Amino acid sequence: MAISIDIREASGVRTLHFGSDWVQGAMRIARPWNLELEYTREMMASLLLRDAPRKVLLIGLGAASLTKFLYRNYPTAHLTVVEIEPAVVAAARQFFKLPEEEKRLHLVIGDGAEYVLNSNKKFDLILVDGFDEKARTGALETLPFYQACRTRLSDDGMMAVNMLTRSRGFKATAARIAEAFDDRALVFPSCESGNAVALAAAGDLIEIPFDELKKNMLELKESTGLNLQPTLTRLAQAKTCLNDTLVL
């Protein structure tokens, strides 16, 4: 059955819905390249911890917020986007300024979990943000999927996952991410929207003092306009941040 696409606008913000009030993506019309929703900004926390990614896999397109941000601010990065619903791609192009495909933006219509399980490509960053009209993620929250993501990461790759704290399986999903990455994962405290972002790392141990994180945050804000100060506050609340140092 085809998915129902619903586009709404209020207070200068255009939102994407799958036939319900559940927001699947948002864009401030006056600033279409910015990350409007808090959780999308938080999914960029890896930019504070490792070098700028050269190859990025995005699972779930939505309103193309993450895709557009990376496309605009990291012109040397190659982006692969896997979206299961062709209608979502059409809506992103028509209403949310998704750039036309070219050399550094590759769109795949297909199942994100199957793509990862069957791929042999390596990525520096994997962003998982795929939900259906009932806010279900299906295979995108299973241990085999997260293990496959770990396999698909480059030596110092990272994965960010958007989760819903109101989901009955939230804690179990977070535990599966931790298991797949040998406990090298952290879950930020929940956003006001009820979204919580999990970050997981491969490769060398990450050990960054908060002073250095703050410096990275200011440089990122200067170069992209993205303000991750609230994210640093969340990191300070996470259990992994002992002695004013982020360890992952």
Of 196, 199, 208, 197, the closest CA to residue 49 belongs to 208
Q: How many CB atoms lie within 10 A of CB 223?
A: 12
Catalytic-role residue among 129, 132, 155, 204: 129
Query: 170-180 and 143-152 are packed helices; what angle lies between their axes, rounded to 10 degrees?
Result: 40
- The question of whether 204 is a catalytic residue gets the answer no
Whole-angstrom distance, CA of residue 56 vs CA of residue 70:
9
In the numeric block, the tokens 């042999």 are attached to 120
| Residues facing residue 246 across a β-bridge | 208, 241
Q: Is the dihedral of CA 99, 102, 103, 108 positive or negative?
A: positive
Catalytic residues: 129
